[in-house]
Amino acid sequence: MRSWISFLTAILFALFMNIGGNPVNWAAVFALTFAITIALGRPAGADLSALGFIYAAFIAAGAHWPVSRYAPVLAFIAIALIIPFMRRGITGWLRPGRPDRAALAGSALIAVLSLLGLYLWWRFSNANLLPFAERIRPGEGVALCGAVFALLNAFSEEAVWRGAVMEGLDEFFGPGWASIILQGIGFGMLHVHGVPTGYTGAALATAYGIALGWIRRRTGSISLSFAVHVLADGMIFFFLIRAIGYSVPLF
Protein backbone atom coordinates (compact mmCIF):
# COMPACT_ATOMS: atom_id res chain seq x y z
CA MET A 1 0.00 0.00 0.00
CA ARG A 2 1.31 3.45 -0.91
CA SER A 3 2.14 5.68 2.02
CA TRP A 4 0.75 9.15 1.31
CA ILE A 5 2.11 10.47 4.63
CA SER A 6 5.67 9.47 3.71
CA PHE A 7 5.33 11.25 0.37
CA LEU A 8 3.87 14.33 2.08
CA THR A 9 6.67 14.31 4.65
CA ALA A 10 9.28 14.16 1.88
CA ILE A 11 7.70 17.15 0.13
CA LEU A 12 7.48 19.11 3.39
CA PHE A 13 11.08 18.29 4.21
CA ALA A 14 12.28 19.50 0.80
CA LEU A 15 10.31 22.73 1.24
CA PHE A 16 11.76 23.26 4.69
CA MET A 17 15.32 22.72 3.50
CA ASN A 18 14.88 25.02 0.49
CA ILE A 19 12.68 27.89 1.69
CA GLY A 20 13.16 27.78 5.46
CA GLY A 21 10.69 29.61 7.66
CA ASN A 22 9.88 29.60 11.35
CA PRO A 23 11.75 26.55 12.74
CA VAL A 24 9.34 26.20 15.67
CA ASN A 25 6.42 25.85 13.28
CA TRP A 26 8.35 23.34 11.20
CA ALA A 27 9.23 21.36 14.31
CA ALA A 28 5.53 21.13 15.13
CA VAL A 29 4.75 19.97 11.59
CA PHE A 30 7.36 17.23 11.71
CA ALA A 31 6.25 16.16 15.18
CA LEU A 32 2.77 15.66 13.75
CA THR A 33 3.96 13.70 10.71
CA PHE A 34 6.18 11.61 13.01
CA ALA A 35 3.17 10.66 15.15
CA ILE A 36 1.13 9.75 12.05
CA THR A 37 3.89 7.69 10.43
CA ILE A 38 4.47 5.82 13.68
CA ALA A 39 0.75 5.10 13.97
CA LEU A 40 0.60 3.86 10.36
CA GLY A 41 3.77 1.79 10.69
CA ARG A 42 5.85 3.66 8.15
CA PRO A 43 9.50 3.57 9.33
CA ALA A 44 10.96 5.61 6.45
CA GLY A 45 8.36 8.33 6.92
CA ALA A 46 9.05 8.34 10.65
CA ASP A 47 12.78 8.65 10.03
CA LEU A 48 12.31 11.58 7.67
CA SER A 49 9.95 13.28 10.12
CA ALA A 50 12.49 12.83 12.92
CA LEU A 51 15.26 14.24 10.74
CA GLY A 52 13.15 17.29 9.88
CA PHE A 53 12.28 17.81 13.54
CA ILE A 54 15.94 17.61 14.59
CA TYR A 55 17.00 20.07 11.90
CA ALA A 56 14.27 22.49 12.97
CA ALA A 57 15.18 22.08 16.64
CA PHE A 58 18.85 22.91 16.02
CA ILE A 59 17.92 26.02 14.04
CA ALA A 60 15.38 27.09 16.66
CA ALA A 61 18.11 26.73 19.29
CA GLY A 62 20.26 29.23 17.39
CA ALA A 63 22.75 26.83 15.78
CA HIS A 64 24.71 28.17 12.82
CA TRP A 65 26.79 26.57 10.08
CA PRO A 66 28.54 24.12 10.34
CA VAL A 67 26.66 22.84 13.42
CA SER A 68 23.22 23.50 11.92
CA ARG A 69 24.22 21.63 8.74
CA TYR A 70 25.93 18.52 10.03
CA ALA A 71 25.02 17.92 13.68
CA PRO A 72 21.33 17.15 12.95
CA VAL A 73 22.28 14.33 10.57
CA LEU A 74 24.67 12.75 13.05
CA ALA A 75 22.15 13.14 15.89
CA PHE A 76 19.40 11.61 13.74
CA ILE A 77 21.46 8.55 12.84
CA ALA A 78 22.47 8.02 16.47
CA ILE A 79 18.84 8.20 17.60
CA ALA A 80 17.54 6.04 14.74
CA LEU A 81 20.05 3.31 15.49
CA ILE A 82 18.83 3.15 19.09
CA ILE A 83 15.09 3.04 18.40
CA PRO A 84 14.15 -0.32 16.77
CA PHE A 85 11.26 1.02 14.65
CA MET A 86 13.36 3.84 13.22
CA ARG A 87 16.33 1.56 12.74
CA ARG A 88 14.31 -0.41 10.18
CA GLY A 89 14.22 2.68 7.97
CA ILE A 90 17.95 3.45 7.87
CA THR A 91 19.76 0.13 8.04
CA GLY A 92 19.05 -0.55 4.37
CA TRP A 93 20.72 2.51 2.90
CA LEU A 94 23.34 2.78 5.65
CA ARG A 95 24.81 -0.68 5.10
CA PRO A 96 27.89 -1.12 2.83
CA GLY A 97 25.95 -2.36 -0.21
CA ARG A 98 27.03 -4.68 -3.01
CA PRO A 99 27.98 -2.81 -6.18
CA ASP A 100 28.12 -4.81 -9.41
CA ARG A 101 30.28 -4.04 -12.43
CA ALA A 102 27.66 -1.74 -13.93
CA ALA A 103 27.44 0.25 -10.71
CA LEU A 104 31.22 0.57 -10.46
CA ALA A 105 31.59 1.59 -14.12
CA GLY A 106 28.68 4.01 -13.90
CA SER A 107 30.04 5.52 -10.71
CA ALA A 108 33.46 6.05 -12.28
CA LEU A 109 31.85 7.79 -15.25
CA ILE A 110 29.66 9.94 -12.99
CA ALA A 111 32.70 10.91 -10.93
CA VAL A 112 34.69 11.99 -14.01
CA LEU A 113 31.81 13.90 -15.58
CA SER A 114 30.90 15.64 -12.32
CA LEU A 115 34.48 16.81 -11.76
CA LEU A 116 34.67 18.05 -15.33
CA GLY A 117 31.32 19.80 -15.02
CA LEU A 118 32.32 21.45 -11.76
CA TYR A 119 35.58 22.67 -13.23
CA LEU A 120 33.89 24.13 -16.31
CA TRP A 121 31.27 25.80 -14.13
CA TRP A 122 33.98 27.30 -11.90
CA ARG A 123 36.10 28.36 -14.88
CA PHE A 124 33.37 30.11 -16.86
CA SER A 125 30.56 31.09 -14.47
CA ASN A 126 32.38 33.92 -12.64
CA ALA A 127 30.29 33.07 -9.57
CA ASN A 128 31.09 34.96 -6.37
CA LEU A 129 32.17 32.24 -3.95
CA LEU A 130 33.55 34.60 -1.30
CA PRO A 131 30.42 34.50 0.93
CA PHE A 132 30.73 30.72 1.08
CA ALA A 133 34.51 30.70 1.32
CA GLU A 134 34.59 33.09 4.28
CA ARG A 135 33.03 30.36 6.42
CA ILE A 136 36.18 28.28 5.94
CA ARG A 137 39.43 29.43 7.50
CA PRO A 138 41.72 26.39 7.39
CA GLY A 139 44.90 28.14 8.56
CA GLU A 140 47.88 25.84 8.12
CA GLY A 141 45.79 22.67 8.09
CA VAL A 142 44.41 23.04 4.58
CA ALA A 143 44.58 19.35 3.68
CA LEU A 144 42.96 18.22 6.93
CA CYS A 145 40.24 20.87 6.70
CA GLY A 146 39.54 19.88 3.11
CA ALA A 147 39.29 16.20 3.99
CA VAL A 148 36.92 16.85 6.90
CA PHE A 149 34.76 19.16 4.81
CA ALA A 150 34.51 16.75 1.88
CA LEU A 151 33.77 13.71 4.05
CA LEU A 152 31.29 15.42 6.35
CA ASN A 153 29.44 17.35 3.66
CA ALA A 154 29.21 14.36 1.33
CA PHE A 155 28.00 12.04 4.08
CA SER A 156 25.37 14.45 5.38
CA GLU A 157 23.95 15.13 1.90
CA GLU A 158 23.92 11.46 0.97
CA ALA A 159 22.29 10.48 4.25
CA VAL A 160 19.62 13.15 3.81
CA TRP A 161 18.77 12.95 0.10
CA ARG A 162 19.80 9.49 -1.10
CA GLY A 163 19.04 8.06 2.33
CA ALA A 164 16.11 9.46 4.30
CA VAL A 165 14.33 11.41 1.53
CA MET A 166 14.64 8.71 -1.12
CA GLU A 167 13.55 6.02 1.34
CA GLY A 168 10.51 8.08 2.29
CA LEU A 169 9.58 8.59 -1.36
CA ASP A 170 10.00 4.87 -1.98
CA GLU A 171 7.27 4.19 0.57
CA PHE A 172 4.90 5.97 -1.82
CA PHE A 173 6.30 5.35 -5.31
CA GLY A 174 8.11 2.07 -4.81
CA PRO A 175 11.69 1.43 -6.00
CA GLY A 176 11.46 3.15 -9.39
CA TRP A 177 12.68 6.31 -11.07
CA ALA A 178 10.14 8.67 -9.50
CA SER A 179 11.93 8.70 -6.14
CA ILE A 180 15.31 9.11 -7.82
CA ILE A 181 14.16 12.10 -9.86
CA LEU A 182 12.24 13.85 -7.08
CA GLN A 183 15.06 13.61 -4.53
CA GLY A 184 17.43 14.89 -7.21
CA ILE A 185 15.23 17.93 -7.79
CA GLY A 186 15.06 18.68 -4.06
CA PHE A 187 18.83 18.30 -3.77
CA GLY A 188 19.40 20.46 -6.83
CA MET A 189 17.18 23.34 -5.73
CA LEU A 190 19.13 23.48 -2.48
CA HIS A 191 22.08 24.65 -4.57
CA VAL A 192 20.41 27.81 -5.81
CA HIS A 193 22.03 29.29 -2.71
CA GLY A 194 24.83 26.74 -2.46
CA VAL A 195 27.87 25.65 -4.46
CA PRO A 196 27.62 25.34 -7.42
CA THR A 197 25.39 28.36 -7.03
CA GLY A 198 22.57 29.97 -8.97
CA TYR A 199 20.08 28.32 -11.29
CA THR A 200 22.83 26.90 -13.46
CA GLY A 201 24.38 25.36 -10.38
CA ALA A 202 20.97 24.04 -9.33
CA ALA A 203 20.51 22.40 -12.72
CA LEU A 204 23.94 20.77 -12.49
CA ALA A 205 23.26 19.64 -8.93
CA THR A 206 19.88 18.20 -9.95
CA ALA A 207 21.47 16.07 -12.67
CA TYR A 208 24.18 15.06 -10.22
CA GLY A 209 21.64 14.19 -7.53
CA ILE A 210 19.71 12.00 -9.98
CA ALA A 211 22.94 10.25 -11.00
CA LEU A 212 23.84 9.63 -7.35
CA GLY A 213 20.30 8.37 -6.80
CA TRP A 214 20.86 5.83 -9.58
CA ILE A 215 24.02 4.62 -7.81
CA ARG A 216 22.12 4.31 -4.55
CA ARG A 217 19.33 2.36 -6.25
CA ARG A 218 21.74 0.09 -8.10
CA THR A 219 23.74 -0.76 -4.98
CA GLY A 220 21.00 -0.51 -2.34
CA SER A 221 23.24 1.71 -0.23
CA ILE A 222 24.70 5.21 -0.03
CA SER A 223 28.27 3.95 0.38
CA LEU A 224 29.31 4.19 -3.28
CA SER A 225 27.39 7.40 -3.96
CA PHE A 226 29.11 8.83 -0.86
CA ALA A 227 32.53 7.94 -2.26
CA VAL A 228 31.71 9.66 -5.57
CA HIS A 229 30.31 12.67 -3.73
CA VAL A 230 33.48 13.09 -1.66
CA LEU A 231 35.47 13.73 -4.83
CA ALA A 232 33.13 16.51 -5.95
CA ASP A 233 33.12 18.14 -2.53
CA GLY A 234 36.90 17.98 -2.45
CA MET A 235 36.98 20.00 -5.67
CA ILE A 236 34.44 22.47 -4.27
CA PHE A 237 36.70 22.94 -1.25
CA PHE A 238 39.55 23.92 -3.57
CA PHE A 239 37.30 26.47 -5.26
CA LEU A 240 36.47 27.97 -1.87
CA ILE A 241 40.02 28.27 -0.59
CA ARG A 242 41.10 29.77 -3.91
CA ALA A 243 38.38 32.39 -3.40
CA ILE A 244 39.95 33.49 -0.10
CA GLY A 245 43.45 33.72 -1.51
CA TYR A 246 45.04 30.31 -1.01
CA SER A 247 47.42 29.59 -3.87
CA VAL A 248 46.49 25.99 -4.64
CA PRO A 249 46.92 24.85 -8.25
CA LEU A 250 44.01 23.03 -9.84
CA PHE A 251 44.63 22.64 -13.58
Distance separating alpha carbons of residues 217 and 233, to the nearest angstrom: 21
In tens, the pLDDT along 114-149 reads: 999 999 999 999 899 998 888 887 666 788 888 999
Its domain, for residue 203, covers 101-243
Say yes or no: 86 and 205 in one domain: no
Q: What angle do CA 217, 221, 225 make, to 5 degrees?
A: 80
Q: Is residue 249 part of a domain?
A: no
Say yes or no: 174 and 239 in one domain: yes
Quick check: 77 pLDDT over 50?
Answer: yes
- Helical ranges in 126-222 per DSSP H: 130-133, 142-157, 166-173, 177-189, 198-219
> What's the confidence (pLDDT) of residue 1?
53
The pLDDT confidence band at residue 251, using thresholds 50, 70 and 90, is very low
Q: Where are the strands (E) in the chain, listed by range?
A: none
Q: Are residues 183 and 169 in contact, defined by beta-carbon separation less than 8 angstroms? A: yes
The pLDDT confidence band at residue 107, using thresholds 50, 70 and 90, is very high
Say yes or no: 74 and 90 in one domain: yes
Say yes or no: 71 and 124 in one domain: no
Query: pTM of the prediction?
Result: 0.93
Say yes or no: 179 and 64 in one domain: no
- The stretch 28-41 carries a mean pLDDT of 94
Say yes or no: 109 and 39 in one domain: no
Say yes or no: 34 and 151 in one domain: no
Say yes or no: 109 and 232 in one domain: yes
In tens, the pLDDT along 208-233 reads: 999 999 999 999 999 999 999 999 99
Distance separating alpha carbons of residues 4 and 169, to the nearest angstrom: 9
Q: Is the dihedral of CA 144, 148, 151, 154 positive or negative?
A: negative
Quick check: 201 pLDDT over 50?
Answer: yes
Quick check: 101 pLDDT over 60?
Answer: yes
Say yes or no: 229 and 120 in one domain: yes
Domain boundary pick from 46, 73, 94: 94
Q: Is residue 251 part of a domain?
A: no
User: What's the number of domains the chain is made of?
Assistant: 2
> What's the confidence (pLDDT) of residue 104?
97
